[in-house]
Structure 1
Amino acid sequence: MNTAGTADVPARMGLDLTPFRGLRYDPDRVGSLSAVTSPPYDVVVRPDGLHHLESADPHNIVRLILPQAPTPGIRNEQAADTLHRWVSEGVLRTDARPGLYVYEQRDDEGMFQRGVIGALRLSEPSEGVVLPHEDVMPHVVADRAALMRATSANLEPLLLTYRGDGASGTTAVIERTAKHPPLLSTTTEDGFSHRLWAVTDPADLAEIHTDLAQRQALIADGHHRWATYLRVRGEHPSPSPWDYGLVLLVDTVRHPLRVRAIHRLLHRLPVPEALAALDGSFRVR
């Protein structure tokens, strides 16, 4: 699928990434930043992984993205109450200035990527700006939408990739920004290190905006969250804050993503029978 930018997507139809005032943990109010992090909601292994995260710190974000209660309505109300309480107690603080955020992730095995987090103006697939390539399950979208309505928040960014030129524009701003001390830095128990910077300089923000206005993006992870954004946006007259969704954009020219196999094993299924069942539906090597 083509994700090239300038020649294929008119500037008026490109990505529109907007600065926002991030709501972030106050490091002085939590045990450690690594103890309050969580994998995406759909990656958390339940129930063991959920209990592990909840016990890591009373303010672990899993209490917002996967609240535990007898019914969906109570779960979502609990998440909203928890969010409001953490804000009122100063556990979560809103940044004073709107900005975009440079995010870096790396491990000891050579994985390294940087991207930019911002509020992206939503678009329909037919507009060709953000390109989905997976179907979604309606009940998951309904569940995520109910949580979003209750909390009035975008709790997790989805991951989008785009094809920049790997050197100038957004990537150049990211590289310059990463030379400064980060807002926060932590290493999670899986061995990944994470760093975050804010981009607030008007010239840098303008450079990113101009560059991304020529680009289109592919959803790498977060099809259900994207569908949720679109559903909730449709419930509110535009313009509204729901015209935007939280995303992380990564330039795959500068930081190619690694796609690993998702292995599936069917016990006691002879290989010849498995291949015969696929005949006519798939090409098998």
Structure 2
Amino acid sequence: MNYAGPAEETPARSGLELTPFRGLRYDPDRVGSLAAVTSPPYDVIVRPDGLLHLESADPHNIVRLILPQDTTPTARNRQAADTLHDWVSEGVLAADPEPGLYVYEQHDDGMLQRGIIGALRLSEPSAGVVLPHEDVMPHIIADRAALMRATSANLEPLLLTYRGNGSRVGTAAVIERAAEGDPLLSTTTEDGFSHRLWAITDPADLAEIQTDLGRHQALIADGHHRWATYLRLRAEHPSPSPWDYGLVLLVDTARYPLRVRAIHRLLHNLPVAEALTALADSFRVRHLDVPLPEALEALAAAAAEGNAFLLAGDGSFHLVDRPSPDLLARTVPADRPEAWRTLDATVLHATLLAHIWGIPEDSPAHIAYIHDTAATVDKAERDGGTAVLMHPVREEVVRDLARQGVTMPRKSTSFGPKPASGLVLRALPL
């Protein structure tokens, strides 16, 4: 039986291979609550506000592993490794008795999402099994690799999507059957999402999933840096080894479509007035004396007509659109597909950051990438910098470019809901 949509089908031997593992999970009797020990993914946390909030929620919050705090990188990674060792020794974290895959459900008033967590066999980009769609920053890969080496663990799953045929067969059937039983855990986090987890250990169910997923390729929705880190660590260890696999959550977006949001930019050392002055001859700039929701509506309307951005940080909003065609022709590389050249992120990085404002995109001292819209504006106003708010890209654009092997500028999209960190970890045998 063919479980794959025709556009996504790949030869069975070159498709996804998801492997059971003994999940490392919090003992609910040893922590205040499961919600209090979870965290958003490491790169979604807004420092330092979100970090301090999570650390104070529970002494065993997962943020102490994924974002350890100390004076040097080496000390931070050693602290994470020691903390993980202590929590396992004390029984705060315990491995499940047998290997399995895990059905993971997230639900709020407007969305139900179910996927499956497992250890995915890593493949090179040239294999076309896992498709990245964004560029990555070397310093972040180095940071994540050092943490994973120190802890010998995958501390949080990255998010991958694939396209089934929408029917309840194969992996979808196993997921739905599992969700009818009693979950291993159930909790609701402060963002209003409820989370449930079930283990799949039956050999027939595992075989059904393996056969089905072996016909699919996946798109990296969230976790490009962690995927690149997995590949780096695999290259450092002779195969076969536990490093041949990485922890992922796979979601069939034919059944459970994700939300796609933008990732915004905070320009630390560029006041809004200077940013606007530099744009005067190249873009149309309109001042908006309206609340944030109305400003975002104006951004959406402008983005439907062409490239548009919303600047903030001086107590108001400024809609920037209609770039000079001559300027775009001079600054945007011409050796990519039209869909890539017209992306807002492409114009932002190639034209605004590199050409007009002269800001290096890979320097944390100059630029931060923030998921939360209001937090980006607040930080810009507090710090005297400029928030550049983006309009999200459609998922089909992302997938089409990825299939062509074309990567988007770094931090172009934010797919969600993202898996909560702390519900299941993967310890690598030493």
Please show how residues 40-51 of structure 1 align to structure 2 within 5 Å: 40-51=41-52
Aligned-partner Cα distance in 2 for 1:29–1:188: 18
Change (3 A) 1:82 1:284: closer
- Residue 8 of structure 1 deviates from its aligned partner by 3.8
The 1:174–1:139 alpha-carbon spacing in structure 2 relative to 1, beyond 3 Å, is same
Per-residue deviation, 1:106: 1.1
> Residue deviations 1:153-193, cap 9 Å, x none?
00010000001122210011000000001000000011111
- Residue equivalent to 2:337: none
1:272 and 2:284 are equivalent in the alignment: yes
Q: Which runs of 5 or more residues in structure 1 are unaligned?
A: none
| Structure with bigger gyration radius | 2
1:134 partner letter:
E
For the residue of structure 1 that corresponds to 2:260, the secondary structure is coil
C-alpha contact (below 8 Å) 2:64/2:80 kept by paired residues: yes
Secondary structure of the equivalent of 2:40?
Answer: coil
Name the structure 2 match of 1:145.
145
Task: Map residues 1-285 of structure 1 onto 2, 5 A cutoff.
Answer: 4=5, 8-108=9-109, 110-166=110-166, 167-262=168-263, 267-268=272-273, 269=276, 270=280, 271-272=283-284, 275-276=323-324, 279-280=328-329, 281=332, 283=342
Deviations 1:48-105 (A, max 9, x none): 1101100100000000000000000000000000000000000000000100000000
Instruction: Quote how far apart the aligned CAs of 1:276 are.
Output: 2.4
How many residue pairs match? The answer is 282
Give CA deviations for 1:248-275 in whole Å, capped at 9, x if unaligned. Answer: 0000110011112445699452542752
Structure 1 residue 4, shift from structure 2 partner: 4.8
Q: Is the deviation greater in 93-102 or in 267-276? A: 267-276
TM-score scaled by length of structure 1: 0.94
Separation in 2, partners of 1:220, 1:136: 13
Aligned to 2:380: none
Kept after mapping to 2: 8 A contact 1:5/1:216:
no
CA 1:283–1:119 in 2, change beyond 3 Å: closer, same or farther?
Answer: closer
Using structure 2 for the length normalisation, give the TM-score: 0.63
State percent identity of aligned pairs: 78
- State the structure with bigger RCO (CA 8 A, min sep 6), 1 or 2: 1
SS where residue 75 of structure 1 aligns? helix
Report the Cα distance in structure 2 between the residues aligned to 1:175 and 1:42, rounded to whole angstroms: 31
What amino acid maps onto 2:114 in structure 1? R
| AA aligned opposite 1:238 | S
Output the CA distance in 2 between the equivalents of 1:244 and 1:5.
27
Do the aligned residues in 2 keep the contact of 1:16 with 1:209 (CA within 8 Å)?
Answer: yes
State the distance in 1 between where 2:240 and 2:149 align: 17
Q: 1:5, 1:164 within 8 Å by CA — same for their partners in 2?
A: no
Q: Secondary structure at the match of 1:279?
A: helix
**Deviation, structure 1 residue 9:** 1.0
Q: Work out the CA distance in 2 between the residues paired with 1:172 and 1:157.
A: 22
Name the structure 1 match of 2:385.
Answer: none
> CA contact under 8 A between 2:5 and 2:165: conserved in structure 1?
no
Write the distance in 1 (CA, Å) between the matches of 2:120 and 2:113: 20
Q: CA deviation at 1:33?
A: 0.3
Q: 1:136 to 1:263 in 2, by over 3 A?
A: closer
TM-align CA RMSD: 2.0
Distance 1:131 1:146, change over 3 A: same
Question: What stretches of structure 1 move > 3 A for 4+ residues in a row?
Answer: 3-8, 261-268, 281-285
Measured in 2, the distance between the counterparts of 1:134 and 1:238 equals 27
Q: Relative to structure 2, which stretch is displaced further, 255-264 or 186-195? A: 255-264
Q: Unpaired runs of 5+ in structure 2?
A: 286-319, 333-340, 345-430
| Change in CA separation of 1:264 and 1:88 when aligned onto 2, cut-off 3 Å | closer
Q: 1:215, 1:141 → 2: CA distance?
A: 27
TM-aligned CA deviation for residue 214 of structure 1 = 0.6
Q: For residue 324 of structure 2, give the secondary structure of its aligned residue in structure 1.
A: helix
Residues 130 and 216, structure 1, Cα contact 8 Å, conserved in 2: yes
Q: Which moved more, 1:161-170 or 1:213-222?
A: 161-170
Secondary structure at 1:189 match in 2 = coil
* Residues 7 and 44 of structure 1, relative CA distance in 2, 3 Å threshold: closer
Q: Does the residue aligned with 1:12 lie in a helix, a strand or coil?
A: helix
- C-alpha contact 1:4 1:162 (8 A) present in aligned 2: no
Q: Does structure 1 conserve the Cα–Cα contact (< 8 Å) formed by 2:164 and 2:254?
A: yes
Does the 8 Å CA contact 1:38/1:60 hold for their aligned counterparts?
Answer: yes
Q: Larger deviation: 261-270 or 173-182?
A: 261-270
Cα distance in 2 for residues equivalent to 1:227 and 1:119: 15
Q: CA separation in 1, counterparts of 2:151 and 2:265? A: 36
In structure 1, distance between residues paired with 2:121 and 2:154? 13
Q: 1-side partners of 2:190 and 2:112: how far apart? A: 17
